[in-house]
Every structure is written in structure tokens, then in C-alpha cells.
Structure 1
């Protein structure tokens, strides 16, 4: 009798188990989505540096410049006496009053003209005072006389790499030059290689 009761009890266990809610399967860990591709910051949000601006990098080919910001916005204008050798133009999608200089098919400098709202990585642009520029850079700022105008017109140049006291010809040098007008304020800013020392367009 005792054996029969044990058998009955044992037989009831699976039935009781069948009456329970089945345990929910363990949730599989959610697959980690692949990292989103980085979206470059809009060109207007960038700062001009000795190495470039937004998607532009000194040393790019003209084709790469045009791929990044579009072709010449005003192809009928002459950017230099020999455009094949040196050309200055504003790419279609570049900010207003920003120009690029391409020499022998390579981007050598980027220029900010009066009215530009773009600033350098130190926060300076056309219209800012030379005194503030010099104070910000300290001993790194090299002042030289303006080619055509009397002081306070001058050139204030800061080399990030390469450079020196004399005229720089090293294509690997990078810097920023502030062209100061007769009112003591920045008229133009040039950033890039040795062509930042030019004072007459492509010369």
C-alpha cells in the first residue's frame, strides 16, 4: 500500500509540473548596433587652422577641394595671371569671403577676406585688432612691415610648424598670417603653407 501511494505521488509530480506556466526563455541580449558613421561638422561651424578648414586640408588636390566644397563659384573670374600655375577662387559651398589658393594643382592656403564671419582657432578674423592678436600669440607672433602701407599696417605671422624668421619656402611648414590694415585691424587672414606670405594674390 505504501509502495502504491509513492507511485501515485510520483506520477502526480509531472502532472503538477505540466500545470505550471512554462518559464519564459531568457531574452537574448539585443544586438549592439554598429557605430554610426561620423558626420563631419557643417563647414560654417569650423575654425580656420594652419592645417585647413572643415573638410579642406592643405595639400589636397584641386579635385579633392572641389569634391569637398564644390567647383569655383565664379568660374568666369580670373584668380591669377596663370591659373594653371596658381589660381584663387571660392568653392561653391565655402562660406562667403573665403578663398582657396591652388598652386600646381595643390591647395596651399585658405584666405579670409573682409566681411568673412569665419575665425581662426584662436577666435580672430577680419576686423579684429592687431593688438589682441599679438597678445594672444605672445612671442610666437612675428610682425613684419607692410609692403605698401605705413604702420600700423603690418603682417603678423604665426608658424605652427616649420617656419622661421626669414622668408619660408619649406612646403611642409604650416602657419597663419594676419594682414593688418592702416586702422590697426585685421584685413585678411591666410592659413596654410608658405603662400600665406604672399601679398599680391599669387605672388
Structure 2
């Protein structure tokens, strides 16, 4: 009788844990529309993931993405943005797939809560030993703070904060190598 009682309690605990984990996973993945509350990760934002086509991303986000910039060689690279809201998000597309996400919207944050206006000191402190600092090669004013993940599964991704001479974040971006490190975007 004691063995059955312990087994029953363990089974009930297992079921309760599975239900809680399932509810947590559902709430994390529940965001189905791209909004200013969407969080930027190293491999996507909200429901949009690096590697999606523009059509897949539009469907996943519930927002139509439209072309915002295309250089002469569109196969190399082009940019798409939400047709209406939210503003300040641009998706770099190469060979038909999203490879990078650029953020200038002051409301959008990273998963850790960083946004336009935060200081270099805050970023460096939040990612000890994982920030590579490079002087802005175009202007020499401000820096590019590059988050380099430790997890092997994320080794092809980066999160880059571009700061001005005052040491505050002006824009940030995430995506896959090598495109996330292109200094001038598609240019």
C-alpha cells in the first residue's frame, strides 16, 4: 500500500509539473503579433525568426512586411519593414530569407530589457566577458558593442549595440553572421 501511495504522489507531482511547464511555454510563445512590446533576441523578434521568408514572417507576425530599400543587386540584400506599425524595425533579407533585424524604435527592448538610450556601461555590465568593443569604423565616433554568445548553438548569431559619442545606444541589431556585422547594411 505504501508503494502505491508514493507512486501516486510522484505521478501527481509529475503531471502538475508538466501542466505548469506547458502553461509557461504557451505564454512565452503566445505572442503572435509584432508590436512595440516584442523583444529582440539574437535570432529574432517576437514571432519572427531569422531564416524565415518575408511571407512566413508576415504571417507569423500578423503584420504585412513591405520593401523599404533595395540596392541595385537585390539578390545580395534588401530591407523590409512593417507596412504600418511598429515603426523603427527593419529586416535585412538575403536570398529571400531574413538574416538580420535592425531596431531604432525607442520602445522596443532586447530580451534583457535594453533599448535605445541605454549606456555602454549598462550593456557591458549586463554581459560580463561577452562584449567585444570596436570603435565605430565609419565615423570614429561612438562604438559597436557586440554581444558574443557562449552557447555553441548560438555561435552564428550576434547582438550589436551601436552607440554615439555620448556613450548611449542609438540603434541595435541582431542576426546571423556575417550580415549582422555589415557596418553599412546593404550598401
**TM-score by shorter chain over 0.5:** yes
Counterpart residue number, 1:117? 107
Q: Deviations over 1:80-117 (max 9, x none)?
A: 3423331112123652101111111111011102x431
Q: How is 1:107-186 mapped onto 2 (pairs within 5 angstroms)?
A: 107-113=98-104, 115-151=105-141, 153-160=142-149, 173-186=156-169
Counterpart residue number, 1:16? none
8 Å contact kept, 2:54–2:65: no
Runs of 5+ unmatched residues, structure 2: 1-21
**Greater fraction of residues in helix:** 2
8 Å contact kept, 1:98–1:116: no
Quote the RMSD (CA, aligned, Å). Answer: 2.7
Which of these residues, 30, 34, 49, is aligned with residue 43 of structure 1? Answer: 34
Q: CA separation of 1:161/1:63 partners in 2, compared to 1, >3 Å: closer, same or farther? A: farther
Give the secondary-structure state (helix, strand or coil) at the position aligned to 1:65.
helix
Q: Which moved more, 1:103-112 or 1:85-94?
A: 85-94
Moved over 3 A (4+): 69-73
How many corresponding residue pairs?
A: 157
**Greater fraction of residues in strand:** 2
8 Å contact kept, 2:89–2:101: yes
TM value normalised by structure 2: 0.73
User: How far 1:183 moved relative to its partner?
Assistant: 1.7
Counterpart residue number, 1:87? 78
Is 1:198–2:187 an aligned residue pair? no
